[in-house]
Copies of this chain bind each other. A is one copy, B any other.
Amino acid sequence: MHDIAILGAGRIGRIHAKNVASQPGLRLKYVVDPVAAAADGLAGETGASVADLETALNDPAVAGVIVASSTDTHLDYSLKAIAAGKAVFCEKPIDQDLARARSASGELGGKGVKLFLGFNRRFDPNFQGLKARLSAGVVGALETVHITSHDPAPPPVSYVKVSGGLFKDMTIHDFDMARWLLDEPVSEVFAAASCLVDPAIGEAGDVDTAKILLRTASGKICMISNSRRSGYGYDQRIEAFGSKGLVRADNVMESTVSIWGENGAASDAFQNFFLDRYAEAYRREMAHFAEIIRGEALPSVGYVDGVEALALAEAAGLSAKTGQVVKL
């Protein structure tokens, strides 16, 4: 049985805390959160203790640390936890600033570093199924990819202002998916972006709608479509075009119920957002973290992936601003 400390008792921290509980071999020992009520609440529900960061990191029984605190602390806490000899499960992004993120390369960039970066989509059963077919050559050699990633509804502008912008906050996931699927470096980035959903987002200096094209040296092309608002729930789809055919992963509905009426067939609603769609992905993340702690696996996604996705986000931001292609 390995003890775990969780940093951050917010929405995503609570999900991870519950998944620790149901993961054989892991036990939640500490909840660390500057908001006492949040820490107390989660500790009470899980039987863990509230602690401060030092206590958690100094306890030799703690084998793993989950960094689910605010984005600006991700890098710092990860560095401290790694320095303390803990395995780390850090929520994305590793940081909002590319230069700062890169500066930790000495401590975090090594092959054996047990820093697992929580790009949840890599653990979604649908996307894992798609990736497995691609790797097995079911559709031949990969040529191009379409990633559709639209949120159900825009966040409050207050969030947008501290989010790092669409590309670092939202597309960051899609950049990671693109890197995972393309499996070779991106050499060109072009982003066409607009503010069509909420003028307040534009006034805050951000965009809410974008299509991004990524191109690799060998000519593979990936298109990413983003919108802060779909009107129909969480739109999370991938199409990968290969030399022999297409492999797709589609959206997930609430159930298989449908109604047939005079206007045709109507499905059940689309799953609304990430808590539903990626519930199983979060469970699989925790299973992977348990493997890392037990020394059975190295992180399948880590610091370097975080930095590279961030680099693509910065390039996309630059392209959207200048209207020009950005070469990497």
Contact = CB atoms under 8 A, between A and B. Distances in A.
A138 B259 contact: yes
Interface string A9-53: 000000000000010000000000000000000000000000000
Interface string A254-273: 11111111111111111000
Given A221-B194, A259-B133, A230 B251 contact: no
A180 interface: no
A257 B223 CA distance: 19
Interface in A160-199: 188, 190, 192, 194-197
Given A262-B233, A266-B267, A219 B245 contact: no
A213 B320 CA distance: 13
B266 A139 contact: no
Interface in A104-162: 125-126, 129-130, 133, 138-140, 143-144, 146, 148, 150
A77 interface: no
Contacts of A242: 231
A264 B129 CA distance: 14
A247 interface: yes
A250 interface: yes
Given A220-B194, A267-B264, A323 B188 contact: yes
Contacts of A210: 221
Contacts of A253: 264-265
B259 A246 contact: yes
A2 interface: no
A294 interface: no
Interface in A207-245: 209-211, 213, 215, 219-221, 223, 225, 227, 229-233, 235, 241-245
Interface residues of A, number: 71
Contacts of A235: 246, 260
B139 A231 contact: yes
Contact of A245 (B209, B247, B262): B262
Contacts of A245: 230-232, 259-262
Nearest to A219: B194
Contact of A244 (B196, B231, B325): B231
A284 interface: no
Nearest to A210: B221
A55 interface: no
Of listed A195, A223, A258, A260, residue having the most chain B CB within 10 A: A260
Contacts of A266: 263-267
Interface in A270-302: 270
Contacts of A267: 264-266
Contacts of A243: 196-197, 229, 231
A249 interface: yes
B260 A264 contact: no
